[in-house]
Protein backbone atom coordinates (compact mmCIF):
# COMPACT_ATOMS: atom_id res chain seq x y z
CA UNK A 1 0.00 0.00 0.00
CA UNK A 2 2.76 2.45 0.98
CA UNK A 3 6.35 2.30 -0.20
CA UNK A 4 9.28 4.56 0.62
CA UNK A 5 12.35 3.93 -1.52
CA UNK A 6 15.65 5.58 -0.59
CA UNK A 7 13.93 8.71 0.72
CA UNK A 8 16.04 11.71 1.68
CA UNK A 9 14.31 14.68 3.30
CA UNK A 10 14.93 17.41 5.85
CA UNK A 11 14.60 21.05 6.84
CA UNK A 12 16.70 23.77 5.24
CA UNK A 13 20.31 22.63 5.25
CA UNK A 14 19.60 19.81 7.69
CA UNK A 15 19.11 16.36 6.23
CA UNK A 16 16.98 14.22 8.54
CA UNK A 17 16.05 11.21 6.42
CA UNK A 18 19.02 9.54 4.79
CA UNK A 19 17.77 6.85 2.46
CA UNK A 20 14.75 5.55 4.37
CA UNK A 21 13.24 2.43 2.85
CA UNK A 22 10.06 0.82 4.16
CA UNK A 23 6.84 -0.82 3.07
CA UNK A 24 3.37 -0.98 4.58
CA UNK A 25 0.97 -3.64 3.34
CA UNK A 26 -2.79 -3.15 3.21
CA UNK A 27 -4.44 -4.00 6.55
CA UNK A 28 -1.25 -3.87 8.62
CA UNK A 29 -0.29 -1.86 11.66
CA UNK A 30 3.38 -0.99 11.21
CA UNK A 31 5.39 1.00 13.73
CA UNK A 32 8.48 3.19 13.57
CA UNK A 33 10.55 3.28 16.73
CA UNK A 34 13.74 5.12 17.56
CA UNK A 35 15.23 7.86 19.70
CA UNK A 36 14.19 11.50 19.54
CA UNK A 37 15.58 13.04 16.36
CA UNK A 38 15.82 9.73 14.52
CA UNK A 39 13.45 10.91 11.79
CA UNK A 40 10.20 9.17 12.74
CA UNK A 41 7.94 12.23 12.58
CA UNK A 42 9.75 13.52 9.51
CA UNK A 43 8.95 10.23 7.76
CA UNK A 44 5.23 10.78 8.33
CA UNK A 45 5.48 14.43 7.29
CA UNK A 46 7.21 13.38 4.07
CA UNK A 47 4.40 10.94 3.29
CA UNK A 48 1.85 13.71 3.96
CA UNK A 49 3.53 16.13 1.60
CA UNK A 50 4.39 18.58 4.37
CA UNK A 51 8.15 17.96 4.23
CA UNK A 52 9.73 18.06 0.77
CA UNK A 53 11.38 14.86 -0.44
CA UNK A 54 14.80 15.73 -1.84
CA UNK A 55 15.42 12.38 -3.48
CA UNK A 56 13.93 8.91 -3.52
CA UNK A 57 10.28 8.03 -4.04
CA UNK A 58 7.11 7.62 -2.01
CA UNK A 59 4.15 5.79 -3.55
CA UNK A 60 0.68 4.98 -2.25
CA UNK A 61 -1.31 2.19 -3.86
CA UNK A 62 1.09 2.35 -6.79
CA UNK A 63 0.73 6.11 -7.30
CA UNK A 64 3.68 8.43 -6.78
CA UNK A 65 3.15 11.15 -4.18
CA UNK A 66 5.88 13.33 -5.69
CA UNK A 67 4.91 16.98 -5.89
CA UNK A 68 1.50 16.53 -4.27
CA UNK A 69 0.32 19.02 -1.67
CA UNK A 70 -0.92 17.75 1.65
CA UNK A 71 -4.63 18.19 0.78
CA UNK A 72 -4.04 16.21 -2.41
CA UNK A 73 -2.41 13.43 -0.40
CA UNK A 74 -5.44 13.43 1.91
CA UNK A 75 -7.78 13.12 -1.07
CA UNK A 76 -6.03 9.86 -2.02
CA UNK A 77 -7.02 8.26 1.29
CA UNK A 78 -4.25 9.18 3.74
CA UNK A 79 -4.99 10.96 7.04
CA UNK A 80 -2.33 12.25 9.42
CA UNK A 81 -2.77 12.67 13.18
CA UNK A 82 0.25 14.85 13.98
CA UNK A 83 2.35 14.96 17.11
CA UNK A 84 0.85 17.50 19.48
CA UNK A 85 -2.73 16.87 18.19
CA UNK A 86 -3.00 20.23 16.34
CA UNK A 87 -6.73 20.54 16.83
CA UNK A 88 -8.54 23.85 16.21
CA UNK A 89 -8.76 25.13 19.77
CA UNK A 90 -11.21 27.93 19.02
CA UNK A 91 -13.67 25.54 17.33
CA UNK A 92 -16.06 23.18 19.06
CA UNK A 93 -15.59 19.42 19.10
CA UNK A 94 -18.27 19.07 16.45
CA UNK A 95 -16.69 21.74 14.24
CA UNK A 96 -13.27 20.08 14.57
CA UNK A 97 -14.75 16.77 13.44
CA UNK A 98 -16.43 18.41 10.46
CA UNK A 99 -13.08 19.90 9.45
CA UNK A 100 -11.86 16.34 8.97
CA UNK A 101 -14.50 15.94 6.27
CA UNK A 102 -13.61 19.14 4.42
CA UNK A 103 -13.19 17.29 1.12
CA UNK A 104 -16.44 15.35 1.43
CA UNK A 105 -19.91 16.37 0.27
CA UNK A 106 -21.99 13.40 1.49
CA UNK A 107 -23.75 15.04 4.43
CA UNK A 108 -25.61 11.89 5.56
CA UNK A 109 -22.35 9.95 5.53
CA UNK A 110 -20.56 12.69 7.46
CA UNK A 111 -23.28 12.69 10.11
CA UNK A 112 -23.02 8.90 10.34
CA UNK A 113 -19.24 9.06 10.78
CA UNK A 114 -19.55 11.72 13.49
CA UNK A 115 -21.83 9.38 15.41
CA UNK A 116 -19.29 6.60 14.87
CA UNK A 117 -16.60 8.79 16.45
CA UNK A 118 -18.91 9.47 19.39
CA UNK A 119 -19.38 5.71 19.82
CA UNK A 120 -15.60 5.20 19.77
CA UNK A 121 -14.98 8.11 22.16
CA UNK A 122 -18.20 8.72 24.15
CA UNK A 123 -16.65 11.65 26.03
CA UNK A 124 -16.48 13.59 22.75
CA UNK A 125 -20.21 13.18 22.31
CA UNK A 126 -20.73 14.56 25.79
CA UNK A 127 -18.55 17.58 24.94
CA UNK A 128 -19.53 18.13 21.30
CA UNK A 129 -20.45 21.81 21.89
CA UNK A 130 -17.32 22.47 23.95
CA UNK A 131 -14.35 24.36 22.52
CA UNK A 132 -11.44 22.14 21.60
CA UNK A 133 -9.00 24.23 23.62
CA UNK A 134 -10.88 23.51 26.85
CA UNK A 135 -10.52 19.73 26.52
CA UNK A 136 -7.96 17.71 28.47
CA UNK A 137 -4.89 16.42 26.66
CA UNK A 138 -6.39 12.97 26.32
CA UNK A 139 -9.66 14.33 24.97
CA UNK A 140 -7.76 16.45 22.46
CA UNK A 141 -5.92 13.35 21.26
CA UNK A 142 -9.23 11.53 20.87
CA UNK A 143 -10.53 14.51 18.90
CA UNK A 144 -7.50 14.52 16.62
CA UNK A 145 -8.03 10.84 15.84
CA UNK A 146 -11.76 11.40 15.38
CA UNK A 147 -11.08 14.24 12.96
CA UNK A 148 -8.89 11.88 10.91
CA UNK A 149 -11.64 9.25 10.91
CA UNK A 150 -13.96 11.78 9.25
CA UNK A 151 -11.65 11.76 6.22
CA UNK A 152 -12.41 8.02 5.82
CA UNK A 153 -8.72 7.16 5.36
CA UNK A 154 -7.45 3.86 4.07
CA UNK A 155 -4.07 4.71 5.62
CA UNK A 156 -3.80 6.43 9.00
CA UNK A 157 -0.52 8.10 9.98
CA UNK A 158 -0.44 8.31 13.77
CA UNK A 159 2.34 10.30 15.45
CA UNK A 160 3.02 9.87 19.18
CA UNK A 161 -0.59 9.24 20.30
CA UNK A 162 0.35 8.47 23.92
CA UNK A 163 2.62 11.48 24.45
CA UNK A 164 1.87 13.09 27.82
CA UNK A 165 -1.21 10.99 28.50
CA UNK A 166 -2.24 8.95 31.52
CA UNK A 167 -2.00 5.15 31.11
CA UNK A 168 -5.77 4.66 31.18
CA UNK A 169 -6.30 7.21 28.41
CA UNK A 170 -3.50 5.64 26.39
CA UNK A 171 -5.17 2.27 26.76
CA UNK A 172 -8.45 3.70 25.44
CA UNK A 173 -6.79 5.31 22.45
CA UNK A 174 -4.84 2.21 21.45
CA UNK A 175 -7.96 0.10 21.83
CA UNK A 176 -9.67 2.36 19.30
CA UNK A 177 -6.68 2.17 16.93
CA UNK A 178 -6.85 -1.63 17.02
CA UNK A 179 -10.60 -1.48 16.43
CA UNK A 180 -10.20 0.81 13.42
CA UNK A 181 -7.68 -1.63 12.01
CA UNK A 182 -9.64 -4.82 12.74
CA UNK A 183 -13.19 -3.68 12.03
CA UNK A 184 -12.76 -0.85 9.52
CA UNK A 185 -9.73 -2.27 7.73
CA UNK A 186 -7.75 0.93 8.27
CA UNK A 187 -4.04 0.47 7.67
CA UNK A 188 -1.89 2.25 10.27
CA UNK A 189 1.66 3.59 10.24
CA UNK A 190 2.40 4.35 13.88
CA UNK A 191 5.11 6.45 15.52
CA UNK A 192 5.12 5.90 19.27
CA UNK A 193 7.57 6.81 22.06
CA UNK A 194 6.57 3.74 24.08
CA UNK A 195 8.42 1.12 22.05
CA UNK A 196 6.97 -1.86 23.88
CA UNK A 197 3.41 -0.60 23.44
CA UNK A 198 4.10 0.12 19.77
CA UNK A 199 5.52 -3.34 19.11
CA UNK A 200 2.73 -5.01 21.08
CA UNK A 201 0.22 -3.17 18.86
CA UNK A 202 1.89 -3.55 15.46
CA UNK A 203 2.53 -6.65 13.40
CA UNK A 204 5.85 -5.30 12.05
CA UNK A 205 8.30 -2.59 12.98
CA UNK A 206 11.20 -0.53 11.71
CA UNK A 207 13.94 0.94 13.89
CA UNK A 208 15.27 4.34 12.80
CA UNK A 209 18.61 5.76 13.88
CA UNK A 210 19.88 9.10 12.57
CA UNK A 211 17.57 8.99 9.57
CA UNK A 212 18.30 5.43 8.53
CA UNK A 213 16.49 2.12 9.01
CA UNK A 214 18.85 -0.05 11.07
CA UNK A 215 16.52 -2.94 11.88
CA UNK A 216 13.18 -4.24 10.70
CA UNK A 217 11.02 -7.29 11.09
CA UNK A 218 8.01 -8.82 12.81
CA UNK A 219 7.24 -7.19 16.14
CA UNK A 220 7.83 -10.44 18.04
CA UNK A 221 11.30 -10.62 16.55
CA UNK A 222 12.15 -7.02 17.45
CA UNK A 223 10.85 -7.52 21.00
CA UNK A 224 13.52 -10.20 21.50
CA UNK A 225 16.33 -8.41 19.63
CA UNK A 226 19.04 -7.60 22.24
CA UNK A 227 19.84 -4.28 20.55
CA UNK A 228 16.21 -3.17 20.63
CA UNK A 229 15.78 -4.38 24.21
CA UNK A 230 18.81 -2.45 25.43
CA UNK A 231 18.18 0.75 23.45
CA UNK A 232 14.39 1.12 23.47
CA UNK A 233 12.74 -1.24 25.94
CA UNK A 234 14.56 -0.08 29.05
CA UNK A 235 16.13 -3.44 29.82
CA UNK A 236 19.74 -4.48 30.06
pLDDT in tens, 150-171: 999 999 999 999 998 999 999 9
Q: Which domains does the chain have, with CATH numbers?
A: 2-232 (3.40.50.300)
Q: What percent of the chain has pLDDT over 90?
A: 94
Mean pLDDT of 69-98: 95
pLDDT surpassing 80 at residue 234: no
Element (H, E) at 201: helix 195-201
Residues 7 and 15: beta-carbon distance below 8 Å:
no
Mean pLDDT of 17-37: 96
Higher-pLDDT residue of 193 and 60 is 60
pLDDT of residue 233: 83
Residue partners of 163: CB distance under 8 A and separation at least 6: 83, 84, 193
pLDDT of residue 84: 86
pLDDT in tens, 86-114: 999 999 999 999 999 999 999 999 999 99
pLDDT in tens, 112-135: 999 999 999 999 999 999 999 999
pLDDT of residue 236: 42
Per-residue pLDDT band at 235 (split at 50, 70, 90): low
> What is the DSSP-derived secondary structure letter of residue 135?
S
Element (H, E) at 181: helix 167-184
> What is the DSSP-derived secondary structure letter of residue 52?
P
pLDDT in tens, 192-231: 989 999 999 999 999 999 999 999 999 999 999 998 998 8
Listed residue (59, 97, 91) closest to 78, CA to CA = 59
Amino acid sequence: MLRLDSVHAGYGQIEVLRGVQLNVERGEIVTLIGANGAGKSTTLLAVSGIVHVRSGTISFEGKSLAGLRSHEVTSLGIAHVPEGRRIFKSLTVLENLRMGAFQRHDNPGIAQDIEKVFSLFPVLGERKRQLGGTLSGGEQQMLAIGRAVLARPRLLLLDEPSLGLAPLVTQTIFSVVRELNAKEGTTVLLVEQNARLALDTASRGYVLEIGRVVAEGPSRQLLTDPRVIEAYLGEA
